[in-house]
Amino acid sequence: MKKIKKILKKKNKSKIVCLTAYSKNIAEEVDKHADIVLVGDSLGSVLYNYSSTKKVTLDEMINHSKSVRLGVKKSLMVVDMPYKTYISKNLALKNAKKIMKQTKCDAVKLEGGKKIINQIQFLIKNKIPVMGHLGLLPQSAKGKFQSKGKNTKEIKQLRNDAMLLQKNGVFAIVLECVKTQIAKQITKDLKIPTIGIGSSVHCDGQVLVTDDLIGLNETNIKFVKKFANIKRYINLGLKNFAQAVKNKRYPTRKYSY
């Protein structure tokens, strides 16, 4: 709860940094820079080449989250509830309790608004902190990914859903691919923070998939900016090792028993 309060206090004061991690070693580095570490079900496409996050299982999320837990010390750790694990309120509670107990995370994230409000209400009533996710919802997207907030109907639904989630106690909402002016308005209307992904600078914070921004995962998604080319460093290390092995410069006596 202390970590969630810290996130809430940042609203209108300083930007919130949210980054994904799927394993301990990356989580350790992410933890130094992020306020929120998200074990996103994006791991399905990033690590397993699944065609959609719908294929990610609860066991996969739990196993990766257990590893991430080992690397996260200071940040708030949030775990995505995968597709179909919250189709009813009782199933949502059973699975959220399992995630919280086995991974020792601080909160779970669910995709959707009014359609899943009973599940969200039930989790919060049972003291499970929930992060919301509106706009583009990869778990329910059919076909091509499209931005949200393009017409009056979408704008009304987004604004209503955001208000409903806040009223029911979610502590923050991810806004994915929401049109700039709508994301700006929702951020202004809410007391809780919005975390944008492709939804403009006006959100209270930003999230990106770490593998994408460090250039480990190749993607051409519009909102992804490559902030580093980590593959260059990986290849340098691997090339040096391979050369040293071939030239018998490794292992020297220092590295041998």
SS (H, E, C) 128-193: CCEEEEEECCCCCCCCCCCCECCCHHHHHHHHHHHHHHHHCCCCEEEEECECHHHHHHHHHHCCCC
Least CB distance from residue 91 to ligand KIV, whole Å? 20
Verify whether residue 176 is a known catalytic residue: yes
Distances (CA, A) of 92 to 13, 59, 109: 34, 15, 11
Angstrom distance (rounded) from CA 17 to CA 252? 44
Q: Which residues bind ligand KIV (CB under 6 A)?
A: 20, 38, 40-42, 80, 174, 176, 197, 207, 209
Give the residue closest to ligand KIV by C-beta.
40
Report the residue number, 18 or 182, with the smaller CB distance to ligand KIV.
Answer: 18
Give the number of C-alpha atoms closer than 13 A to the C-alpha of residue 34, restricted to the C-beta side: 27
Least CB distance from residue 85 to ligand KIV, whole Å? 14
Report the residue number, 223 or 250, with the smaller CB distance to ligand KIV.
Answer: 223
| Residue from 60, 111, 176, 218 carrying the catalytic annotation | 176
**Does residue 31 contact residue 75 with C-beta atoms inside 8 Å?**
yes
Pairing verdict, β 16-20 and 130-135: unpaired
Least CB distance from residue 90 to ligand KIV, whole Å? 24
Least CB distance from residue 244 to ligand KIV, whole Å? 37
Angstrom distance (rounded) from CA 68 to CA 62? 10
Report the residue number, 38 or 186, with the smaller CB distance to ligand KIV.
Answer: 38
The owner of tokens 């202390």 is 2
Report the residue number, 125 or 226, with the smaller CB distance to ligand KIV.
Answer: 226
Q: What residues are labeled active site?
A: 176
